Amino acid sequence: MWTLGVEALAQMALGSRLFGGGGGGDTLGARLVAHQALEDCGQVRVLRPDELDPDALVAGVVVIGTPTVLVEKLPSTDQLAAVVRAEEARLGQKIEALIPVVIGGMELFYPIAAAAALHLPCLDADGMGRTLPVISMTTFTLAGVNVAPLCSADAKGNVISLDTADNRLAGAIARLSAMTLGMANACVCYPMSAATACQVSIPGSLTRCLEFGGLLAQAQAQGTLEPVLGACGGRELGDGVVIAVDRKTTFGFPKGSVTLELFGGQGTMRVEMQNEFLVAIVDGEVVATVPDLISIFDINDLEPLYTDEIQEGQRVRVAVMPCAPQWRQPGMADLVGPAAFGYHVDPVGQA
C-alpha cells in the first residue's frame, strides 16, 4: 500500500499523457478535479488487488465522452460519487475499492477523484495499460469479465443502467447514451471480486504512471528518449517533418493519418490514427501496431503530442513502447489488434 496526495499528480500527469499514445484527452482539467478532491477529502490509499479481501467488490471508473467537450465540461466529484452509488444500488452490494479502466490521458484522474470523495482505496492496476478508444477494449474483456451492470450519469442527475451480455454492445450503447446526455458521462463498470481483479488486471498502473512521468521529465531535460525507452524496451522509429495530415472527426474521435518525411533520406513514414496512434508504416513496411504504444513527440521539447495537435511542418520523433504482457495472449488480435480498427495488417511483435 502507498498513499497518493496532491504532490504526485503533476508527475503522474506526464506519465498518463505518455500512456495516452496520442489520445486520452488533455490531463489538466481532470488533474484539477483530482487535486480538489484530494485537498477536500484527504489522501487516497493505493492498494494492490491482493491486499483486499478476495471477496471484496471492486468496480471500474471511467468517463465516456469526447475530449473536446470534457476539456470544458468536467465531471464533478458529486457526479462521480452519484454513479458509484447507483452501481451499488443496482448490485445490492457495497463497492470496497475502485479500479481505473484506463491509465492514459485524463482518464487516470477520475478514479482517483472518486476514491477520494468516497474515502475508498484505488487499486494500483487497470484494464488497458494505455489508452484505447472503447471501454470494451480491456484485459477484463479478454478474460471474460462482463462490463455490466454498467451505470452512467450526467451532470444533471440522469442515470442510465445497462445490462448486456456482450461488452462491445455495452460500449456502443454507453457511447450513444453519452452523445444524448452531453458527451461528459461518468461511468462505473466491470464489477468484480478482488480475487478476479488479481487475475485479469494489469498490475502497477498508478505506480507506472508516476515512474514514467519522472522518466519523461528526465528525458525532456536531457533531450533524449533513452530514459523512457530504456526502462521499457521501447525503440525509436524515426525523426522527421510532418508533410501531410489527413484528419476528420467522427463520433467525437479524430481519425486519419500523419505522414512524415524522415530525416537523412530514410524514407516516408505514415502513422494511422483513430483517436490514438495505431499503426506505423515506413515505405510500405509495417513497423509497429496497436496494442504496442506508438507515440509522436515534438522534437524540440519531447512533449507527447495528441492526435489533434499534429500539424504540417512540425518536426517530430516517433517511438514505440511494448504493451503490457497481459495483452500477449489468444484473442488479443481480435479485440485490440489492427484488425479491430479496420487495418488489414498483422500485429507486429513487441517493440
Please report which confidence band the pLDDT of residue 174 belongs to, taking 50, 70 and 90 as the band edges.
Answer: confident
Quick one: pLDDT at residue 252? 58
Question: Taking 60 as the threshold, does the pLDDT of residue 351 lie above it?
Answer: no
Domain with CATH 2.40.390.10 in the chain: 229-340
Query: CB under 8 Å, gap of 24 or more: what pairs does 154-159 form?
Result: 154/79, 154/181, 154/182, 154/184, 154/185, 155/73, 155/75, 155/76, 155/79, 155/182, 155/184, 157/82, 159/82, 159/83, 159/86
Q: What is the pLDDT of residue 73?
A: 75
Q: What is the DSSP letter of 259?
A: E
What is the overall mean pLDDT for the chain?
94
Residue 350: its pLDDT value, please? 58
CATH homologous superfamily of 229-340: CV3147-like (2.40.390.10)
**For the ranges 67-81, 143-157, 230-244, the one whose mean pLDDT is highest:** 230-244
Which ranges in the chain are annotated with CATH 3.40.1610.10? 2-205
Q: Which CATH architecture has domain 2-205?
A: 3-Layer(aba) Sandwich (3.40)
Per-residue model confidence as pLDDT tens digits over 253-310: 678 999 999 999 999 999 999 989 999 999 999 999 999 999 999 999 999 999 989 9
pTM of the predicted protein model: 0.95
Q: Which of 76-80, 112-116, 184-188 has the lowest mean pLDDT?
A: 184-188
Q: Pick the closest to residue 351 from 231, 264, 213, 260 (CA basis).
A: 231
What integer pLDDT is reported at residue 203 of this predicted model? Answer: 98
Digit-coded pLDDT (tens) for 36-75:
999 999 999 999 999 999 999 999 999 987 766 666 778 8
